[in-house]
A and B are shown apart, each in its own frame.
Chain A
Amino acid sequence: MPKDGPILEVKHVSKRFGAVQALEDVDFEVYLDEVVGLVGDNGAGKSTLIKVISGVYQPDSGEYYFEGEPVAVGNPKDANALGIETVYQDLALCDNLDVVGNLYLGKEKTQRLIPRVIEVMEEIDMEAEARRVTADLHINIPSLRARVAALSGGQRQSVAVARAVMWNSKIVILDEPTAALGVEQTKQVKDLICRLREQGLGVVVISHNLADVFDISDRIIVLRLGRRVATFNTMETNPDQVVAAITGAKLAEGEDVYHQRAGANS
Chain B
Amino acid sequence: MDAETHFEESETKNGFIGEQWKALIRRIAEGEIGSLPVLLGLILIAIIFQLANDNFLTPLNLTNLMVQIASTGTIAVGVVLVLLLGEIDLSIGWVSGFTAGIMAVLSVKQQQPAWIALGAAIAAGAGIGLLQGWWIAKLKVASFIVTLAGFLLWNGALLYILGQTGTINLNDPVIIAISNTNLPVWFGWVLGVGAMLVFAYTQVRERSRRAKAGIRFSSMPATIGKIILISAVVLLIVFLLNLNRNPRQGEPIQGIPSAMLIFLAFVIIFDLLTRKTAWGRYVFAVGGNAEAARRAGINVDRIRISVFILGSTLAACGGILAGSRLFAVNQSSGGGPELLNAIAAAVIGGTSLFGGRGNTWSALLGILVIGSISNGMNLLALESSIRFMVTGAVLLVAVTLDAYARSRREVSGR
Task: Report whether A106 and B298 are in contact in the complex, using a CB–CB cutoff of 8 Å.
Answer: yes
* Interface range on chain A (Cβ under 8 Å from partner): 35 or more
Nearest CB to that of B280 among chain A residues? Answer: A121
* Cα distance A13–B291 in the bound complex, in angstroms: 28
Q: Is B138 an interface residue (CB 8 A)?
A: no
Contacts of B216 in A (CB 8 A): 143-145
Task: Report whether A121 and B277 are in contact in the complex, using a CB–CB cutoff of 8 Å.
Answer: yes
Q: Is B251 an interface residue (CB 8 A)?
A: no
Contacts of B1 in A (CB 8 A): 135, 138, 140
Task: Report whether A97 and B281 are in contact in the complex, using a CB–CB cutoff of 8 Å.
Answer: yes
Task: Report whether A94 and B292 are in contact in the complex, using a CB–CB cutoff of 8 Å.
Answer: yes
Task: Report whether A105 and B7 are in contact in the complex, using a CB–CB cutoff of 8 Å.
Answer: no
* Cα distance A121–B272 in the bound complex, in angstroms: 11
Q: How far is the CB of B332 from chain A (nearest CB, A)?
A: 36
Contacts of A131 in B (CB 8 A): 214-215
Against B, the Cβ 8 Å flags (1 = close, 0 = not) of A72-88 are 00001100000000000
Task: Report whether A105 and B296 are in contact in the complex, using a CB–CB cutoff of 8 Å.
Answer: yes
Against B, the Cβ 8 Å flags (1 = close, 0 = not) of A130-165 are 010001001011111101011100000000000000
Task: Report whether B357 and A92 are in contact in the complex, using a CB–CB cutoff of 8 Å.
Answer: no
Q: Is A96 an interface residue (CB 8 A)?
A: yes
Task: Report whether A92 and B276 are in contact in the complex, using a CB–CB cutoff of 8 Å.
Answer: no
Known: A121-B276, A125-B213. Is A96-B296 also a contact (CB below 8 A)? no
Q: Is A60 an interface residue (CB 8 A)?
A: no
* Cα distance A149–B32 in the bound complex, in angstroms: 10
- State how many residues of chain B have any CB contact under 8 Å with chain A: 36
Task: Report whether B213 and A127 are in contact in the complex, using a CB–CB cutoff of 8 Å.
Answer: yes
* Cα distance A38–B3 in the bound complex, in angstroms: 34
* Cα distance A95–B285 in the bound complex, in angstroms: 9
Contacts of B213 in A (CB 8 A): 124-125, 127-128
Identify which of B291, B297, B414 contacts A149 (C-beta below 8 A). Answer: B414
Q: Is B109 an interface residue (CB 8 A)?
A: no
Q: How far is the CB of B32 from chain A (nearest CB, A)?
A: 7
* Cα distance A1–B332 in the bound complex, in angstroms: 76
Q: Is A215 an interface residue (CB 8 A)?
A: no
Known: A124-B213, A141-B4, A151-B414. Is A95-B277 also a contact (CB below 8 A)? no
Identify which of B4, B7, B289, B297 contacts A94 (C-beta below 8 A). Answer: B289
Q: Is A101 an interface residue (CB 8 A)?
A: yes
* Cα distance A141–B340 in the bound complex, in angstroms: 42
Q: Is B230 an interface residue (CB 8 A)?
A: no
Nearest CB to that of B299 among chain A residues? Answer: A106
Task: Report whether B295 and A92 are in contact in the complex, using a CB–CB cutoff of 8 Å.
Answer: yes
Contacts of B285 in A (CB 8 A): 94, 97, 101, 105
Contacts of A105 in B (CB 8 A): 281, 285, 292-293, 296, 298
Against A, the Cβ 8 Å flags (1 = close, 0 = not) of B382-414 are 000000000000000000000000000100001
Identify which of A124, A138, A143 contacts B7 (C-beta below 8 A). Answer: A143
Known: A131-B215, A142-B3. Is A121-B278 also a contact (CB below 8 A)? yes
Task: Report whether A96 and B357 are in contact in the complex, using a CB–CB cutoff of 8 Å.
Answer: yes
Q: Is B13 an interface residue (CB 8 A)?
A: no
Known: A128-B215, A135-B1, A142-B3. Is A119-B292 also a contact (CB below 8 A)? no
Additional pairs, 15, CB under 8 Å, beyond known A94-B289, A131-B214: A94-B285, A96-B288, A96-B289, A96-B357, A97-B281, A101-B285, A106-B297, A118-B277, A124-B213, A124-B215, A143-B8, A143-B216, A149-B30, A149-B409, A150-B414
A-side interface residues toward B, CB under 8 Å?
76-77, 90, 92-97, 101, 105-108, 110, 117-121, 123-125, 127-128, 131, 135, 138, 140-145, 147, 149-151
- Cβ-closest 3 pairs across A and B: A106-B296, A96-B288, A96-B356
A-B contact pairs, 23 of them (CB 8 A): A92-B291, A92-B295, A93-B292, A94-B288, A94-B292, A94-B356, A97-B285, A97-B288, A101-B285, A105-B292, A106-B293, A110-B277, A119-B277, A119-B279, A120-B276, A121-B276, A121-B278, A124-B215, A128-B215, A131-B214, A140-B4, A142-B7, A149-B409
B-side interface residues toward A, CB under 8 Å?
1, 3-4, 7-8, 30, 32, 206, 209-210, 213-216, 273, 276-279, 281, 284-285, 287-289, 291-293, 295-298, 356-357, 409, 414
